[in-house]
């Protein structure tokens, strides 16, 4: 499962078709995986078999997709595992995150026991939803295209690798102008010291809370809590009903932030993506805003 942290992002989207199925997929060399973006399949066994062949041809170790829970049993019969549930993902209806481990070694996490202990410790204390008082002189705002270069610099400092090219100002600008809401925190000098985003799917009324980063010398100031609370308000104002995140399982601080804001843990994606220089497990947390 080794991959160079400096590997170029060359994700490509393409379509596959066959008797009884069609799908749009994303091929990711850095993450060594296939993500199924959309599918139609009367024959899900044929779809999974085709995905496995494509993955093996490219040396990828994992395939995953989000399926309505009514499709879960048929994908399990085809050899996939349900690793997590995303509550409300399909316009209020849950999605099952189904994974196929093409490389069996990728199924096994060397850090599972450590991550389970972190999760247990986090959940010992009741969640209270509190947000610390912001440091004096710090200001938070919505990011604009003019912030993209500085924002990319922050991500480049914090992450040695990342599943998506957030180190690239052009990528940040394009997503900012289409479907991602970014927020930044600036210190008293005006420098960006923290950031996070909400990747929205307005058709399905959901958003992934993601891309949290704080400069190392600014940690412990509660910036992630402020960013998350603000993004939740942004999403509520735009009619998004359901939020979820895929958080690094070994990050006690980041998982605590979501737990404390009322998110519910719904599963773990094993060796799911290449982040901070290695493959990592990711915890799924969900929160509904409606009602």
pLDDT, one tens digit per residue, over 39-78 is: 999 999 999 999 999 999 999 999 999 999 999 999 999 9
Residue 247 phi/psi, 5-degree rounding, is -105, 145
Each residue's pLDDT tens digit, 166-223: 999 999 999 999 999 999 999 999 999 999 999 999 999 999 999 999 999 999 999 9
Each residue's pLDDT tens digit, 87-106: 999 999 999 999 999 999 99
β-bridge mates for residue 90, sequence order? 93
The candidate with the shortest Cα–Cα distance to 142, out of 103, 177, 110, 182, is: 182
> In the prediction, which pLDDT does 9 show?
55
> In the prediction, which pLDDT does 291 show?
58
Task: Show me where the domains of the chain are located.
Answer: 12-107, 112-288
- Spell out the alpha helix ranges (H) of 177-251: 223-237
**What's the residue count for the chain?**
291
> In this predicted model, which residue has the larger pLDDT, 3 or 158?
158
Residue 5 has pLDDT above 60, yes or no: no
β-bridge mates for residue 288, sequence order? 242
> CATH assignment of 112-288?
3.40.630.30
Residue 103 phi/psi, 5-degree rounding, is -100, 110
> In the prediction, which pLDDT does 184 show?
98
Residue 7 has pLDDT above 80, yes or no: no
Each residue's pLDDT tens digit, 237-265: 999 999 999 999 999 999 999 999 999 99
The torsion region of residue 269 among left (phi > 0), alpha (psi -120 to 50) and beta comes to beta
Contact 92, 241 (CB under 8 A): yes
Compute and round to an integer the Cα radius of gyration of the chain.
19
Domains 12-107 and 112-288 share a fold: yes
> Is the overall model pTM greater than 0.75, yes or no?
yes
Each residue's pLDDT tens digit, 8-35: 457 999 999 999 999 999 999 999 999 9
- What does the mean pLDDT of the chain come to? 94
> In the prediction, which pLDDT does 2 show?
39
The span from the CA of 111 to the CA of 58, in Å, is 26
Quote the percentage of the chain above a pLDDT of 90.
92
Q: Name the CATH superfamily housing domain 12-107.
A: Gcn5-related N-acetyltransferase (GNAT) (3.40.630.30)
β-bridge mates for residue 287, sequence order? 243
The candidate with the shortest Cα–Cα distance to 171, out of 199, 140, 204, 213, is: 199
């Amino acid at each position: 499962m080794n991959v160079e942290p400096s590997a170029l992002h060359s994700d490509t989207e393409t379509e596959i078709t066959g008797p009884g199925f069609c799908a749009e997929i994303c091929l990711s060399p850095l993450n060594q995986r296939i993500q199924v973006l959309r599918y139609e399949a009367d024959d899900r066994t044929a779809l999974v078999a085709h995905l496995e062949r494509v993955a093996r041809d490219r040396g990828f170790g994992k395939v995953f997709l989000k399926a309505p829970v009514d499709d879960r049993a048929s994908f399990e019969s085809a050899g996939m595992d349900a690793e997590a549930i995303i509550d409300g993902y399909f316009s209020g209806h849950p999605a099952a995150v189904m994974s196929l481990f093409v490389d069996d070694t990728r199924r096994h996490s060397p850090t599972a026991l450590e991550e389970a202990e972190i999760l247990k410790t986090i959940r010992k204390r009741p969640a209270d939803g509190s947000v610390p008082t912001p440091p004096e002189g710090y200001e938070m705002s919505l990011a604009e295209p003019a912030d993209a270069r500085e924002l990319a610099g922050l991500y480049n400092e914090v992450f040695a690798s990342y599943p998506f090219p957030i180190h690239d100002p052009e990528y940040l600008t394009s997503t900012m102008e289409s479907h991602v809401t970014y927020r930044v925190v600036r210190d008293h000098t005006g420098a960006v010291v923290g950031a996070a985003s909400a990747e929205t799917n307005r058709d399905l009324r959901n958003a992934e809370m993601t891309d949290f980063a704080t400069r190392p010398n600014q940690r412990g100031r509660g910036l992630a809590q402020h960013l998350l609370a603000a993004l939740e308000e942004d999403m509520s104002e735009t009619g998004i009903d359901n939020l979820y995140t895929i958080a690094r399982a070994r990050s006690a601080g980041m998982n605590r932030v979501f737990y404390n804001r009322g998110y519910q843990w719904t599963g773990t994606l094993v060796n799911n993506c290449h982040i901070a220089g290695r493959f990592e497990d990711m915890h799924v947390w969900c929160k509904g805003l409606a009602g």
